[in-house]
Amino acid sequence: MHTLNLGILAHVDAGKTSLTERLLHAAGVVEEVGSVDDGSTRTDSLALERRRGITIKSAVVSFALDGITVNLIDTPGHPDFIAEVERVLHVLDGAVLVVSAVEGVQAQTRVLMRTLRRLGIPTLVFVNKTDRRGARDDALVRDIAAKLTPGAVAMGTVGGLGTRAAGFTPYGPDDPGFTARLADVLAGHDDALLADYVADEAAVTYRRLRKSLAEQTAGALVHPVYFGSAATGAGVAELTAGIEELLPAPAGDPDGPAAGTVFKVERGPNGEKVAYVRMLAGTVRTRQELAYGDGDRAPVTEKVTGVKVFEQGAAVPAAGAGAGRIALVRGLEGVRIGDAVGAAAGSVVGRAADARRHHFAPPTLETVVVPDRTADRGALHAALFQLAEQDPLIALRQDDVRQELYVSLYGEVQKEVIGATLADEYGLPVSFRESSVIHVERLAGAGAAYEKGDTGTNPFLATVGLRVTPAPPGTGVRFDLAVELGSMPYAFFKAVDDTVRATLHQGLYGWEIPDVRVTMTHSGYWPRQSHAHQGFSKAMSSTGADFRGITPLVLADALKRAGTRVCEPVQRFRLEAPEDAVPALWPVFAALAAVVDGQEVRGGVAVLEGEVPAARVHGLERRLPGLTRGEGVLETSFGRYRAVRGPAPVRPRTDHNPLDRKEYLLHVQRRV
């Protein structure tokens, strides 16, 4: 039996959790359809999710179709939890994108579809809430084709639109309008079909069209559109048939060595780690010695103490989990999200590394978490560390000087959720400082520095020379050697590499330098030595601590010579507003440092596109309704980082400050 890992994605409140419940009910997994409002859904298991009526954590449930086991992954719809969606994307075989028939294509819908198309994930579109007043069908399909995908194909017609009796009737071979539209869309990607269709329309059979539809849907070229209502069940049977017919279910290689990738980590009832592993090949079994790693750290091997798989809506114990399955694996206490697992970990490190690349925007806000009780400081750090395991993008940062803890955020709702989670699950009431924007630093040029070991200025028994050069945005930190690898023990090179990466978290202005190439130009060490008739003398021999001690000073000098520029996050925006309201918007754009680089007018509606600093987006959202009589529609998405205009903001340092040699040596060596 094949396994299909299917994601349900949508803008918040489009009804994807309700659709998940309806699919489980139709498959016989649940007897009654759960309600989001009543907090009785299968996938919203957290108390906070039930109270707020939104999905916060991705959840996996399972049901069976003919010959296929479907692992259904319900994902959050609120943009503050986009990181949860990001982690799921690389394990999907297909997706259902839910669109509300009333609200239509919304900002988050466009972000999700753009990403699904870029990653080539086969996707069906389900237009939900056809039973609601104000629901649209044909006009909405045109919107989907214009705003989401030109390959949109309506698979049926809606009767009783906007009423409780709304139903969905699929098109068939006897509908000439449907076959003509289907042939027109499919021919755009199939030259043979186009040639035959032009030569003789009658020669292109309906069976051939359906076969081409399945092939092009699997290739993410065409996106079938179904209509229905998760509340009434209308259209769900047709959607289920479409999932079975049109979405591919890769088999994987069950006979190869076990290999997979981790997309989610939780803590079990006893505090043990539980890794959600998408198996790519082979089988993972209980008591098996399993290796894991991410390419940035040495692989670790631990024994699997338990395996569960998803069957008929629940996770059940199993002896093993084969290729294509999602396995809940216990026993890997050092595992992290994005790790490749298995004996063939080397072959999937590339895929795991790709999984760690952000398909969505990075967090652009950070805040200080303050315990309401001073005595809870230690417990708060431990709790936030566990939350960071489950969501690495909150990027826990500790300031030992000021005794403060920082977390990264996508928005204010995420802040509320973190606070409620700490209070409910850990018994830690907290408050938050005002959120601030996260900047980055980029090199202005190249720079180099060199320190000879055991000299008047360098008290460490280590010689290190480093050169820094700018790297293109998004390429990350690269560490190269311009010295021979055999010139000193590998452990010392590794100490320099690790320290370089840690030091780059705080540049000249205190912000991270995410993209830079660092080359080691000089190296030297003192071999193991001893006093006469005595054992090894640490005072006469180099250790890893010597290289970890001098590297920040050398790197700081190289960065000073290169110089850095502080850059702020900038959002791309698309604004639809009445044409006569545009003149009133220009002064607001100027005041918010927004730049408009595209403008067109369609039937009295102006469409403006451009960039606005992330820190100013809220101000634009707040002023927009009054300036556009409530008719303005604003969509924003992360664009890029650009150099700050005016004085560069400085972030307080949380390390021993290698920019100040005296202060640094006092902390590290207890002497100047």
Region 423-445: mean pLDDT is 93
Residues 27 and 100 in one domain: yes
Query: Where is the domain boundary, 356, 388, 418?
Result: 356
Q: For residue 104, give the DSSP letter.
A: B
Region 363-386: mean pLDDT is 92
Residue 133 falls inside a structural domain: yes
Tokens of 571: 């959002």
Residue 555 falls inside a structural domain: no
Give the total number of structural domains in the chain. Answer: 4
- Tell me, what's the pLDDT at 80? 65
Distance between CA 1 and CA 245 in Å, rounded?
15
Distance between CA 423 and CA 440 in Å, rounded?
32
Residues 104 and 226 in one domain: yes
Residues 284 and 420 in one domain: no
Q: Which domain holds residue 374?
A: 365-438
Closest to 473 (Cα-Cα) out of 502, 504, 440: 440
Q: C-alpha angle with apex 516: 511 to 518, nearest 5 degrees?
A: 115
- Tell me, what's the pLDDT at 350? 40
- Tell me, what's the pLDDT at 649? 94
Q: What is the CATH number of the domain that holds 188?
A: 3.40.50.300
Residue 106 falls inside a structural domain: yes
Residue 454 falls inside a structural domain: no
Residue 596 falls inside a structural domain: yes
Residue 477 falls inside a structural domain: no
Tell me the CA distances in angstroms from 95 to 4, 5, 70, 153, one per residue in order.
10, 8, 11, 16
- Tell me, what's the pLDDT at 429? 95
- Tell me, what's the pLDDT at 347? 47
Tell me the per-residue pLDDT of 15-25, one tens digit each, with 9 for 90 and over: 888 898 898 88
Comparison of pLDDT for 82 and 114, the residue scoring more: 114
Contact criterion met (CB below 8 Å) for 238 and 260: no
The angle that helices 377-390 and 412-426 make with each other, rounded to 10 degrees, is 120
- Tell me, what's the pLDDT at 77? 64
Percent of the chain residues topping a pLDDT of 90: 50
Residues 413 and 344 in one domain: no
Residues 178 and 65 in one domain: yes
Tell me which of 35-39, 134-138, 294-298 is least confident: 35-39
Residues 288 and 223 in one domain: no
Q: At residue 472, does pLDDT exceed 90? A: yes
Query: Where is the domain boundary, 356, 385, 403?
Result: 356
Structure confidence at residue 78 as a pLDDT band (50, 70, 90): low
Q: Show Cβ contacts of residue 670 under 8 Å, excluding neighbours closer than 6 positions.
A: none
Residue 571 falls inside a structural domain: yes
Residues 165 and 307 in one domain: no
Q: At residue 291, does pLDDT exceed 80? A: yes
Comparison of pLDDT for 470 and 35, the residue scoring more: 470
Residue 44 falls inside a structural domain: yes
- Tell me, what's the pLDDT at 53? 53
Contact criterion met (CB below 8 Å) for 164 and 131: yes
- Tell me, what's the pLDDT at 352? 38
Tell me the per-residue pLDDT of 312-324, one tens digit each, with 9 for 90 and over: 777 899 999 988 8
Residues 633 and 571 in one domain: yes
Tell me the per-residue pLDDT of 515-568, one tens digit each, with 9 for 90 and over: 999 999 999 999 866 555 555 555 678 999 999 999 999 999 999 999 999 999
| Average pLDDT, rounded, for the chain | 86
Helix (H, G, I), strand (E, B) or coil at 325: coil
Looking only at the bridges linking them, the beta strands covering 223-227 and 123-128 are parallel
Tokens of 287: 């008591």
Region 418-422: mean pLDDT is 89
- Tell me, what's the pLDDT at 671? 57
Tell me which of 248-252, 369-373, 441-445, 584-588 is least confident: 248-252
Q: At residue 26, does pLDDT exceed 60? A: yes
Residues 40 and 111 in one domain: yes
Contact criterion met (CB below 8 Å) for 190 and 203: no
Tell me the CA distances in angstroms from 656 to 185, 422, 667, one per residue in order.
62, 30, 7
Q: What is the CATH number of the domain that holds 614?
A: 3.30.70.240
DSSP string, 387-447: HHHH-GGG--EEETTTTEEEEEES-HHHHHHHHHHHHHHH---EEEPPPEEPPEEEESS-E
Contact criterion met (CB below 8 Å) for 294 and 286: no
- Tell me, what's the pLDDT at 134? 93
The angle that helices 206-218 and 176-187 make with each other, rounded to 10 degrees, is 40
Residues 311 and 397 in one domain: no
Contact criterion met (CB below 8 Å) for 149 and 95: no
- Tell me, what's the pLDDT at 481? 96
Q: What is the CATH number of the domain that holds 403?
A: 3.30.70.870
Tell me the CA distances in angstroms from 438 to 338, 350, 591, one per residue in order.
23, 29, 21
- Tell me, what's the pLDDT at 344? 46
Buried/exposed 141-162: b ≥16 CB within 10 Å, e otherwise: beebbebbbebbbbbbbbeebb
Tell me the per-residue pLDDT of 46-71, one tens digit each, with 9 for 90 and over: 555 555 555 566 788 888 887 788 88
Q: Taking the model in full, what pTM does it have?
A: 0.75
Residues 346 and 383 in one domain: no
Structure confidence at residue 362 as a pLDDT band (50, 70, 90): confident
Q: Which residue has the tokens 């995420």?
A: 414
Half-sphere exposure at residue 318, Cβ-oriented, CA atoms within 13 angstroms: 19
Residues 314 and 396 in one domain: no
Residues pairing with 63 in the sheet: 70
Closest to 284 (Cα-Cα) out of 322, 337, 330, 339: 322
Closest to 308 (Cα-Cα) out of 291, 324, 325, 296: 325
- Tell me, what's the pLDDT at 492? 96
Query: Where is the domain boundary, 322, 356, 390?
Result: 356
Contact criterion met (CB below 8 Å) for 628 and 575: no
Q: Show Cβ contacts of residue 118 under 8 Å, excluding neighbours closer than 6 positions.
A: 359
- Tell me, what's the pLDDT at 348? 41
